Amino acid sequence: IKKIAVMTSGGDAPGMNAAIRAVVRSCAYYSLGCVGIYRGYEGLIEDDLVELNARSVHNIINKGGTILKSARSKGFRTKEGRQKAYENLIEREVDALVVIGGDGSFTGAVLFNEEFGFPVVGIPGTIDNDIFGTSHTLGYDTALNTAVEAIDKIRDTASSHNRLFFVEVMGRDAGFIALNAGVGAGAEEILIPEEDLGLDRLLESLERSRRAGKSSSIVVVAEGDKSGKNVYELAKYVEENLPQYDVRVSILGHMQRGGSPSCFDRVLASRLGVKAVELLLDGKTNLMVGLQDNKVISTDIKVAIAGGHSINHELLRISDIITT
Ligand code: F6P
């Protein structure tokens, strides 16, 4: 291969820029051409591409967001959209595509490969950490630290006013941020999409905390938790059933997606970016690079998409013990 294109797709995540940089610099190192695609598949269809060289990516390793911008593309879901995307790549003499994104973005890449035989490699980038085939996705570590820092601050108010806070963190379908930030910030309860612990249990636990003389309580709730109530409804429910509590709600929202990537995310992005280019150079395709036991590995991208995710039950268990 002579030229690689790189894009970021789906929700942005800290570390995406570090991954772009690693891909571009690896191309330069191996004397390959490199083009960046703006706005993911959307930009590819619209031929919004830019030639990149080693110097184009200076001073971005520390930057949040993505210099290539990102989008969730409707056009690429159509055959015509993908045909146009293919023609644009051929026109630019691009031989392979690196997609930095989540499983939706990888599904597009697989389709693209099946229809046109175009070589693709995926780099997992999402704060949700919900991708099979890697212990960490880009941005997850940074988002976790952002969430913990924010919850620590909320704790100050919670304990100053003897309040109970419901803090909603991101994770539509995955409880990784909630579970780990919850344990890290000492949350009394953690509600995640993967487990329905039941509202009775929540009330019992909060009642126990109150009787134990706790001056503040934090319940971390993942966006997609299984209680059937949104975070405001949950707060209201608890207020009605445990009127002794002064309850507040805080939704952390998109602040969790922003900010300078942690050192972990920068190193991970650098390792995965280099590996993605090296796989393509070796003639490999349809793979996702990832981290397993601190080793860079690759997984069939279809397996990565279909694999699902599982949370660490040990964390739920120890959370109960250490918040007694
Ligand atoms: O997938 C990352 C994520 O931040 C989820 O945690 C969240 O549910 C979703 O994206 C929000 O997406 P958007 O920014 O498009 O509203």
Among residues 47, 95, 128, 225, which one is catalytic? Answer: 128
The pLDDT of 220-228, averaged and rounded, is 93
pLDDT band, very low/low/confident/very high, at 215 (cuts 50, 70, 90)? confident
Closest atom, ligand 1, to C-alpha of 10: 1
| Residue 92 token pair | 């630019």
- 274 pLDDT above the threshold of 90: yes
172: annotated binding-site residue? yes
Minimum CA distance residue for ligand 1 atom 8: 172
pLDDT in tens, 49-102: 999 999 999 999 999 999 999 999 999 999 999 999 999 999 999 999 999 999
Q: Cα(7)–Cα(3) distance, rounded to whole angstroms? A: 14
Distances (CA, A) of 179 to 107, 134, 176, 207: 27, 18, 5, 21
Closest atom, ligand 1, to C-alpha of 72: 15
Backbone angles phi, psi at 127, to 5 degrees: -70, -15
The pLDDT of 118-125, averaged and rounded, is 98
pLDDT in tens, 92-120: 999 999 999 999 999 999 999 999 999 99
Cβ-based burial of 73 (10 A; exposed 0-12, middle 13-18, buried ≥19): buried
- 197 pLDDT above the threshold of 90: no
pLDDT reported for residue 162: 94
Please count the other Cβ atoms lying within 10 Å of the Cβ belonging to residue 249.
18
Q: Are 178 and 191 in contact (CB under 8 A)?
A: yes
The pocket around ligand 1, CB under 6 angstroms, is made up of 11, 102, 126-128, 170-172, 223, 257
Place of tokens 């004397």: 31
Closest atom, ligand 1, to C-alpha of 170: 6
103: annotated binding-site residue? yes
208: annotated binding-site residue? no
Q: Which residue from 66, 128, 130 has its CB within 8 A of the most atoms of ligand 1, so it is best to mutate?
A: 128
Closest atom, ligand 1, to C-alpha of 257: 4
194: annotated binding-site residue? no
- Active-site annotation holds for 128: yes
In sequence order, what are the beta bridge partners of 271? none
Average pLDDT in the chain: 96
Least confident of 21-25, 142-146, 212-216, 278-282: 212-216
Q: Ligand 1 centre from 242 Cα, in Å?
A: 32
16: annotated binding-site residue? no
Minimum CA distance residue for ligand 1 atom 11: 11
Q: Cα(73)–Cα(93) distance, rounded to whole angstroms? A: 23
Minimum CA distance residue for ligand 1 atom 14: 11
Q: Give Dmax over CA atoms of the chain in angstroms.
A: 70
Residues in the chain: 324
pLDDT in tens, 166-188: 999 999 999 999 999 999 999 99
Backbone angles phi, psi at 317, to 5 degrees: -65, -50
DSSP state string for 96-119: EEEEEE-HHHHHHHHHHHHHH---
